[in-house]
């Protein structure tokens, strides 16, 4: 392979083998790499560890040559697609979706986790969009399939938008926003930008201890809109790379490290704008004082639900379009 070969023509594993300078900054900033005593170059030759990577890409943020460990992990996972079969079956044609044929310029895309963890907040959003003459969708963006190493049928979302004449997809979930914004032809915006445009939502006062979701941590694209509703904030959890749900991993040792670091900050409230983060903090780690910024802005002030499966089933059959 020529050292001058274009990046888009080679895999991320090949690119890492070519460009890594072995400074070990990635290892110093990642509990996963530390556990397996490796840097990103070593990771290229250890596919058996791929499902322990949280895909947070903190390694990329600190890498002087901009190498993303998440892409290495996903490349490894694609070589064992059997692990993605169940996720693809559930998510590619999302089994609990709730869509309609109703035409709508703006489509509220609730994703799959917000309806499970924040039922009342979703109902409030649907009510607001209905008053503005817009429809909603309960569906999966297909990112979980991609992260497990499967083929994400994002074409299903593209077809849905085409049938409904959608001009803008308004996302609640940071994962949905970042995964779809460069993959579909429809313009994708976040719910906070939409609310600013419509003059909806209250300000949250005081200094908030914010946990940034992995997908928005580096660019903070969504947070630029979120800031409009916040008086002040602190990036309190810089030593925690991921909430623990990234990439569908189940490494209990690494999960405990994240849990301990979060609890060690001993803050009265953890504010996040990701329902997945909220869910694992409250239901997985049993941390009290978890507040979802979207729910707070809408003045719903909803607690994270512990009845995720029940709520998802409810939203599948809800008809709030009447």
Q: Where are the alpha helices (DSSP H) in the chain?
A: 12-19, 25-28, 31-35, 40-43, 58-62, 69-78, 85-91, 114-117, 119-131, 143-147, 155-163, 174-180, 191-198, 214-217, 221-226, 252-264, 275-279, 293-297, 308-317
The predicted pLDDT at position 104 comes to 98
Q: What are the Cα distances from residue 252, in Å, to 52, 113, 188, 258, 259?
A: 10, 22, 35, 10, 10
- Read off the pLDDT of each residue in 293-304 and give the average, rounded to a whole number: 98
- Which pLDDT value is given to residue 3? 41
What's the mean pLDDT in 246-274?
Answer: 90
pLDDT of the residue at 283: 94
DSSP 280: I
Give the pLDDT of residue 10: 76
> Where residue 144 falls among pLDDT bands split at 50, 70, 90?
very high
Q: What is the pLDDT of residues 204-224, one digit of tens each?
A: 999 999 999 999 999 999 999
pLDDT of 81 reads 77
Tell me: pLDDT of 322 over 80: no
Cβ density class 270-291: b for 16+ within 10 Å, e for less: bbbbbbbbbbbbbbebebeebb
Q: What mean pLDDT comes out for the span 226-250?
A: 90
User: What does the pLDDT read at residue 9?
Assistant: 54
Express each pLDDT in 150-173 by its tens digit. Answer: 999 999 999 999 999 999 999 999
pLDDT digits (tens, 9 = 90+) for 79-130: 987 778 999 999 999 999 999 999 999 999 999 999 999 999 999 999 999 9
5 has a pLDDT exceeding 50: no
Q: What is the pLDDT of residues 41-71, one digit of tens each?
A: 999 999 999 999 999 999 999 999 999 999 9
Pairwise pLDDT comparison (12 vs 5), residue with the higher score: 12
Check residue 248 and give its pLDDT: 67
């Amino acid at each position: 392979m020529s050292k001058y070969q274009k990046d888009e023509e080679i895999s991320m594993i090949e690119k890492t083998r070519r460009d890594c300078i072995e400074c070990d900054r990635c290892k110093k900033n990642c509990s996963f790499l530390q556990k397996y005593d490796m840097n990103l170059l070593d990771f290229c030759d250890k596919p058996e560890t791929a499902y322990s990577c949280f895909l947070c890409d903190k390694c990329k943020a600190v890498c002087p040559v901009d190498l993303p460990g998440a892409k290495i992990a996903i490349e490894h996972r694609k070589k064992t697609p059997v692990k993605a079969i169940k996720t693809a079956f559930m998510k590619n044609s999302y089994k609990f979706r709730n869509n309609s044929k109703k035409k709508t310029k703006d489509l509220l895309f609730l994703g799959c986790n917000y309806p499970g963890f924040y039922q009342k907040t979703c109902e409030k959003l649907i009510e607001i969009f209905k008053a503005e003459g817009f429809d909603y969708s309960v569906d999966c963006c297909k990112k979980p399939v991609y992260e497990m190493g499967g083929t994400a049928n994002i074409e299903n979302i593209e077809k849905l938008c085409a049938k409904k004449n959608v001009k803008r997809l308004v996302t609640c979930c940071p994962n949905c926003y970042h995964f779809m914004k460069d993959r579909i032809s429809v313009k994708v915006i976040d719910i906070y930008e939409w609310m600013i445009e419509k003059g909806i939502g209250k300000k949250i006062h005081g200094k908030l201890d914010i946990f940034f979701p992995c997908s928005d941590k580096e660019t903070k694209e969504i947070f630029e809109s979120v800031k409009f509703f916040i008086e002040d904030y602190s990036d309190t959890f810089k030593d925690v790379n991921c909430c623990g749900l990234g990439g569908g991993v189940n490494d209990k040792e690494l999960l405990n490290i994240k849990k301990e670091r979060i609890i060690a900050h001993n803050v009265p409230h953890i504010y996040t704008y990701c329902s997945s983060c909220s869910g694992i903090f409250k239901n997985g780690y049993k941390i009290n004082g978890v507040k979802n910024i979207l729910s707070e802005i809408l003045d719903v002030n909803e607690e994270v639900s512990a009845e995720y499966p029940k709520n998802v089933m409810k939203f599948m059959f809800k008809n709030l379009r009447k």
